[in-house]
Amino acid sequence: MKIEIFSNDGPSSRKVAEALKAKIAAEHLTIDDDHPEIVITVGGDGTLLTAFHHYQDQLASIRFVGIHTGHLGFYTDWRDYEVDQLIDSLANDNGQSVTYPLLDIGVEYDNGAYEKLLALNESTLKRAMGTMQANVYIKDKLFELFRGDGLCVSTPTGSTAYNKSAGGAVLSSELEAIQVSEIASINNRVFRTLGSPLIISPSEWVRVEPAQEGEMLLTCDTELVSHQQVKAITYRISKQKIAFAQYRHTQFWQRVSESFIGVKPND
């Protein structure tokens, strides 16, 4: 088995990463950062998101494992003191995995350029300065003229991140769907939006066309993608998925309960 250790620069993470490398060598497993079969991230959700984008062209052949060295991460199942148990699971790997949906993002710029992106959590679109106005289409049919701070489009697992803070619903990770949530929309006698999150099925897509000139701030997960003039962005559920090694992968709703409510198993 070929394994990559993807760590952040924190001292506790580096310590765990070095311990992992020593134990992996002792088990005669292989370290391979070019074409790994297992990517172990050491840090938190931010580290895992960075690793996901680093290896997004190899998702079909990679499973991820997350170790958190600080606060509890949503995607990380192992603690920093459980290295020995993880090594034992790697040595006895049975190939099982659990998968989560991803978000496809197609960006058309005013200069004719086109860019395709892939998100694990979400994408947001805002105007660099002032209120954003944008025509929102569902399956190429005009749905509404949005006015407000911006829009957030998320995956089911990403629904627990920015989307939740924007008032969106938490979606089950077993749903093949994306969610569109408004960020501080304007609703009065003159301007009107739906004012509720939209759940979009795999057979549908959302197209957002900015209705005024000016630079747009487009994000893909934690990265600022562009502040250019955007002509249109199309969002849809991706045919690709991210896979996690299912050694003891935490069930989604248990993860939500522990992260936001603080309920532990058998409490």
Show Cβ contacts of residue 98 under 8 Å, excluding neighbours closer than 6 positions.
Answer: 243, 244, 246, 249
Cα 86 to Cα 102, 116, 136, distances in angstroms: 26, 35, 46
Q: Alpha-carbon distance 14 to 237, whole Å?
A: 35
Q: How far is the CA of 264 from the CAs of 48, 155, 254, 258, 259, in angstroms?
A: 23, 25, 8, 6, 10
Residue 103: count other Cβ atoms within 10 Å of its Cβ: 25
How far apart CA 180 and CA 165 sit, in angstroms, is: 13
Residue 149 catalytic?
Answer: no
Select which of 45, 77, 104, 221 is catalytic: 45
The residue count for the chain: 267
| Rounded Cα–Cα distance for residues 226 and 89 (Å) | 41
Distances (CA, A) of 229 to 93, 97, 103, 117: 48, 40, 22, 17
Q: Provide the token pair at 167.
A: 């008032």
Q: Are 208 and 125 in contact (CB under 8 A)?
A: yes
The token pair that represents 110 in the structure block: 């005013």
Could you list the active site residues? 45
